Structure 1
Amino acid sequence: MDEFVFHNPTTIYFGKRYEAEVGRIAAQYGKRVLLHFGGGSAERTGLLPAIRKALTEAGISYFELGGVQPNPRLSLVYKGIELCRKNSVDLILAVGGGSAIDSAKAIAIGTVYEGDVWDFYTGKAFPTKALPVGTVLTIPAAGSEASPGSVITKEEGLLKRAVNADCIFPRFSILNPERAFTLPPAQIANGVTDIMCHLMERYFTNSKPVEFTDRLIEATLRTVIAAAPRVLANPTSYDDWAELMWAGTVAHNELLNTGRVGDWASHDIEHELSAIYDIAHGAGLAIVTPAWMKYTLKHDVARFAQYAVRVWGVEDNYFDPERVAREGIARLEVFWRSIGQKVRLSEIGIDDSRIAEMARKCTDDDAHTVGHFVPLRSKDIEAIYRLAL
């Protein structure tokens, strides 16, 4: 096990009753709030009206910025920064899923920075301070409600980049499983896929021994695999959504990467897909991750075989562990298809015409490698995209 420091400052309010207390909770951070959200679903379900009422009753002035899209855009972040500075905002309250939260985090670090917020996403600068961010989660998926990460897409050049910094851990997050009841099946499938990939990115590691966190990751994966078909069959099952929502948070709140170094190549490779083709992040991961597994399998066949046995119930075969490992990957693909995902680029209308471009962008023309389990150069990434065709 590697040495580590574990720190997560996000206070979680989990359950049905805490939305009504959002005004009281937010007031701990100031009296001027930017309310940041996506489309009309939070309005239609009554969530935004309830939040506005709670903020008003707590004596909080609020300013609104809607319009967050999947793969949140840098242009909207700039608008948010301008709003925060103009109105001396004390807290940014994100209402929605990972896109709204990631956008809020970008606004938070950009508001207190004299330069261009995009500097943080290209590595030209590192954020050490930010406005406080709070969240009201509506989509279990990204885990951004309790993580130090943010991913933003720059329209010019179609670049999708991430930043990770302790200063953008949300101060609080309100998780009410009822808010997931109205999600459409495709959004559920994408959320489930994203959660699973956060777990699998951590699972495939060169750090040893890591038996304790292996078992935690395996248990969380099995919980998600069990809960996903149930919420698809019964979208108003509070108990099943509660399992899935909390699993999604724990999958990405830094606990499960203690003592180990995760991979993260699949996420970086997918970012190029969703930047250019504007597909949902979860949909892209369902295609990229199995291809990455097939490409890197021989680096540590035993770990892939362990994953197959413990997560998917594949019968162990000490004489042919590679066969066991490949069956585990096959069962992952079968599961994702069963919840409505596609697992090949060709199935969503993407051909090989921009594969070389995406591979170059992913490594900044081989200025660096991608991934820790197996460091990948642009030629490796191109091969993975081709395996995904």
Structure 2
Amino acid sequence: MENFEFYTPTKIYFGRDTHKKVGEIIAGYGFHKILLHYGGGSIHRSGLYNAIVTSLREHDIAWVELGGVSPNPKLSLAKQGMELCRAENVEFILAAGGGSVLDSAKCIADGAANPDVETWEFFEKKREPQGALPVGAILTLAASGSEMSASCVITNEEGWFKRGFNSPYHRPLFSILNPELTFTVSPFQTGCGIVDIMMHTMERYFTLSENVDLTDHLAEGLLKSVIAAGKRAIDNPRDYEARATLMWAGSLSHNDLTGAGRQVFMGVHQMEHELSGMYDFVAHGAGLSVLFPAWAKFQYPYATQRFCQFAVRVWNLEMDYEHPEETAKAGIAATEAFFASLGMPVRLRELGIGAEKLEEMAEKCTFFGKRILPDYKPLGKAEIMEIYRLALG
């Protein structure tokens, strides 16, 4: 087991009607003026916006607001939020939405508290924030795990670079998780979320570290629970227990629990950032569902036993001791079939993407030759290109 630090300062309020307590919770921290940050019109249509502002008024919390966060959130909107926070002396940011809204809120929090630094330098790893505005969340989509994670990912339209970085300042003070708020999430977005949740654990499971039995079983149990709950949520979107399982699994999948004691490199995420950074219409979960099977087909010969364990323990497949590579391939095929059963694409051509920009994406993923991604077989430009080609179909 590798040395590790495990830090989870976020307080979770989980369950029905918990979002109605948001004013009381914020007042308890002593904040008097906040930024309410959200995406499109869904929080208005669902009634969530009215519930939030009612609770804020009841507890004398003043607010300014900024909507318009898109999937693959943009640096340009975050910069508007930074300026608004400074001009209005905002003390706290409340993100109401999914992972994109949370990432945008975290970026705003970094920039607002570090006005003399170009925020993009944090994402380029040239600087580190010296503080940030505190952030809280009301989650409306089970997917990214950003409600408990240290990560923040943003897209810079100047060059269409999608980059992320981790900071302890990114972990929210609190997150409100009411599974009922996900009942109206579309089947496609539900599928994207299921893939993202699974990938946050699978990319901690397939690592260069020695097997860590306790962490393995935590990861495998989470994956099996998500597979079962995912099927039920697609069939019956108002299945509270299925939605609750997905929501809590999303948080646990990305708060570092399922990677404790391991090295984590998240290579599929790195390659997907280039895909959805270049093709802004690609949902993150859909990009992952395309790239994981291709990555796995490329890497399994270099970690066959690990892929066999995944096949046997997660997918309940029989071990072929004479031909272990067949078991490894069967586990990959089972994962790909499950993603497809959710309505997720498993080939780039299903997204309308051909070979035209594969080389540019590979170059960006290596930071133009400045990095090689650690992996069972390390990933330079040539290897990344091969995985992108495998993903074409």
Alpha-carbon distance in structure 1 between the residues aligned to 2:207 and 2:131 = 31
Q: Which moved more, 1:114-123 or 1:130-139?
A: 114-123
Alpha-carbon distance in structure 1 between the residues aligned to 2:128 and 2:21 = 34
Q: 1:63 to 1:149 in 2, by over 3 A?
A: same
Give the aligned partner of residue 186 of structure 1: 188
Q: State the SS of the aligned residue for 1:314.
A: coil
Task: Please report the RMSD computed on the Cα atoms of aligned residues, expressed in angstroms.
Answer: 0.9
Partner amino acid, structure 2, of 1:56: R
Q: Deviation of residue 375 (structure 1)?
A: 2.6
Give the aligned partner of residue 222 of structure 1: 224
Q: Where in structure 2 are the equivalents of 1:25-44 lying within 5 Å? A: 25-27=25-27, 28-44=29-45
Q: Deviation of residue 117 (structure 1)?
A: 0.8
Give the aligned partner of residue 198 of structure 1: 200
Q: State the SS of the aligned residue for 1:161.
A: strand
Partner amino acid, structure 1, of 2:342: I
Partner amino acid, structure 2, of 1:127: P
Is residue 230–residue 246 contact of structure 2 (8 Å, CA) maintained in 1?
A: yes
Is residue 140–residue 181 contact of structure 2 (8 Å, CA) maintained in 1?
A: yes
**1:323 aligns with one of 322, 326, 329:** 326
Alpha-carbon distance in structure 2 between the residues aligned to 1:94 and 1:373 = 37
Q: Deviation of residue 24 (structure 1)?
A: 1.1
Q: Deviation of residue 205 (structure 1)?
A: 1.3
Q: Which moved more, 1:302-311 or 1:124-133?
A: 124-133
Give the aligned partner of residue 20 of structure 1: 20
Partner amino acid, structure 1, of 2:94: L
Q: 1:153 to 1:258 in 2, by over 3 A?
A: same
Q: 1:55 to 1:214 in 2, by over 3 A?
A: same
Alpha-carbon distance in structure 1 between the residues aligned to 2:277 and 2:347 = 18
Give the aligned partner of residue 239 of structure 1: 241
Give unmatched runs, 5+ long, in structure 2.
Answer: none
Give unmatched runs, 5+ long, in structure 1.
Answer: none
Q: 1:206 to 1:39 in 2, by over 3 A?
A: same
Q: Where in structure 2 are the equivalents of 1:145-294 lying within 5 Å? A: 145-278=147-280, 279-294=282-297
**1:118 aligns with one of 112, 117, 120:** 120
Q: Deviation of residue 372 (structure 1)?
A: 4.2
Partner amino acid, structure 1, of 2:187: P
Q: Deviation of residue 127 (structure 1)?
A: 2.0
Is residue 304–residue 325 contact of structure 1 (8 Å, CA) maintained in 2?
A: yes
Q: State the SS of the aligned residue for 2:277.
A: helix
Give the aligned partner of residue 49 of structure 2: 48
Alpha-carbon distance in structure 2 between the residues aligned to 1:94 and 1:25 = 14
Q: State the SS of the aligned residue for 1:12.
A: strand
Q: Deviation of residue 229 (structure 1)?
A: 1.2
Percent identity between the aligned chains?
49
Cα deviation 1:47-70 (Å, max 9, x = unaligned) = 011101101111111000000000
Q: State the SS of the aligned residue for 2:373.
A: coil
Q: State the SS of the aligned residue for 2:175.
A: strand
Alpha-carbon distance in structure 2 between the residues aligned to 1:234 and 1:221 = 20
**1:297 aligns with one of 292, 297, 300:** 300
Q: Deviation of residue 374 (structure 1)?
A: 3.7
Q: 1:22 to 1:326 in 2, by over 3 A?
A: same
Q: Which moved more, 1:139-148 or 1:294-303?
A: 294-303
Give the aligned partner of residue 96 of structure 1: 97
Give the aligned partner of residue 362 of structure 2: 359
Give the aligned partner of residue 2 of structure 1: 2
Q: Deviation of residue 239 (structure 1)?
A: 1.1
Q: 1:272 to 1:190 in 2, by over 3 A?
A: same
Cα deviation 1:240-279 (Å, max 9, x = unaligned) = 1111110111001111111111230100100111011110
Is residue 307–residue 328 contact of structure 2 (8 Å, CA) maintained in 1?
A: yes
The runs of 4+ residues in structure 1 deviating greater than 4 Å are none
Q: Deviation of residue 362 (structure 1)?
A: 0.5
Count of aligned positions: 389
Q: Deviation of residue 29 (structure 1)?
A: 4.5
Alpha-carbon distance in structure 2 between the residues aligned to 1:259 and 1:137 = 28
Partner amino acid, structure 1, of 2:98: G
Q: Deviation of residue 373 (structure 1)?
A: 4.3
Alpha-carbon distance in structure 1 between the residues aligned to 2:247 and 2:376 = 28
Q: Does 1:379 align with 2:382?
A: yes
Q: State the SS of the aligned residue for 2:162.
A: strand
Is residue 154–residue 164 contact of structure 2 (8 Å, CA) maintained in 1?
A: yes
Q: Deviation of residue 7 (structure 1)?
A: 0.9
Q: Give the TM-score normalised by the residue count of structure 2.
A: 0.98
Q: Which moved more, 1:198-207 or 1:366-375?
A: 366-375
Q: Deviation of residue 17 (structure 1)?
A: 2.9
Q: State the SS of the aligned residue for 2:147.
A: helix
Give the aligned partner of residue 11 of structure 1: 11
Q: Give the TM-score normalised by the residue count of structure 1.
A: 0.99
Alpha-carbon distance in structure 2 between the residues aligned to 1:349 and 1:263 = 28
Q: 1:94 to 1:29 in 2, by over 3 A?
A: farther
Give the aligned partner of residue 132 of structure 2: 130
